Amino acid sequence: MTVRKQPEPSPCPYEVGTWLKTPQGDIGYVNLVLDQYLTLCVREWKKSEELAKHSCQPIHQCILLVYPTDYDKCEVLTEGDFERVKHP
């Protein structure tokens, strides 16, 4: 039986806090970087007072996974782009 060796993941070229636009058009900031993927926060909002007082974090987040195969297809957004896409 032959065991296939998985290719080494490419290092992530982005840092936490970098704003990106994915090839599918999603816009968000890098929330977490791991060897296998990064997470992109595309939306966040405050939790209700009742939920927040029993939670570790006072916000909800909608997170997307971005895999290394898509890193080179993502577009880094500038400060001007950030103003254009900022959520109310």
For the stretch 21-45, pLDDT in tens is 999 999 999 999 999 999 999 998 8
Q: Left if phi > 0, otherwise alpha if psi is -120 to 50, otherwise beta: which for 84?
A: alpha
Q: How far apart are CA 87 and CA 59, in angstroms?
A: 14
pLDDT tens across 45-87, in order?
Answer: 888 888 777 788 888 889 999 999 999 999 999 877 666 555 5
Write the CA distances from 2 to 5, 9, 33, 81, integer angstroms: 9, 21, 32, 49
The residue among 46, 9, 13, 45 whose CA lies nearest residue 30 is 13
What strands lie across the sheet with 27-33, from one edge to the other?
A: 59-66, 38-46, 27-33, 19-21, 75-76
